[in-house]
Amino acid sequence: MDANELQRLYNSGQRYFPAAKLTGAKLIAAYLPGINLWGADLSRANLAKAKLWGADLSRANLAKANLTKANLSGVKLNEANLRGAKLNFAKFYGADLSGAYYDESTRFSQGFDPKSQNMQKI
């Protein structure tokens, strides 16, 4: 599946894409609220400025993904791989980050405390 196919299916009403393979997908400013990408491979994907509120990204691989300025309010990111991800200025209001993995190369906004969100450093 590529980014265009995902957008087309989403726009036609489909919301459930578990374990989708979207490595390196370009989804800049994509409007995908409520999408279910549980266990999806979004490594190296560009989701900058994406609107993903209420989405399920639990167990998703977001390693080295760009989520700069993404709206992740209410998003489930349980046990997601966020190693090397860019999360600068991302909105996390009401997001569940428990068990999400990060490392020293993961970039958060200034003042964001991953430990207070029950995230795990690898």
**Domain coordinates of the chain in residue numbers?**
1-122
Structure tokens at 91: 């909105």
Instruction: Tell me the two tokens of residue 101.
Output: 């993995």
pLDDT at 95 (0 to 100): 97
pLDDT at 61: 98
pTM, entire model: 0.96
Residue 104's pLDDT is 97
- 62, 81 in Cβ contact below 8 A? yes
pLDDT for res 32 = 98
Please tell me the predicted confidence (pLDDT) of residue 77.
98
- Which of 1.20.1050.10, 3.30.160.20, 2.160.20.80, 3.40.50.2300 is the CATH number of 1-122? 2.160.20.80
pLDDT in the model for residue 49: 98
User: What's the rounded Cα separation, in Å, for the pair 58 and 7?
Assistant: 20
Please say whether the beta carbons of 70 and 52 come within 8 A.
Answer: yes
Q: Tell me the per-residue pLDDT of 39-61, one tens digit each, with 9 for 90 and over.
A: 999 999 999 999 999 999 999 99
Whole-angstrom distance, CA of residue 97 vs CA of residue 57: 10
pLDDT by 10-residue block (mean), the chain, 122 residues: 96 97 98 98 98 98 98 98 98 97 97 96 96
Predicted confidence (pLDDT) per residue in 103-112, tens digit: 999 999 999 9
β-bridge mates for residue 76, sequence order:
56, 96
> Quick one: pLDDT at residue 60?
98
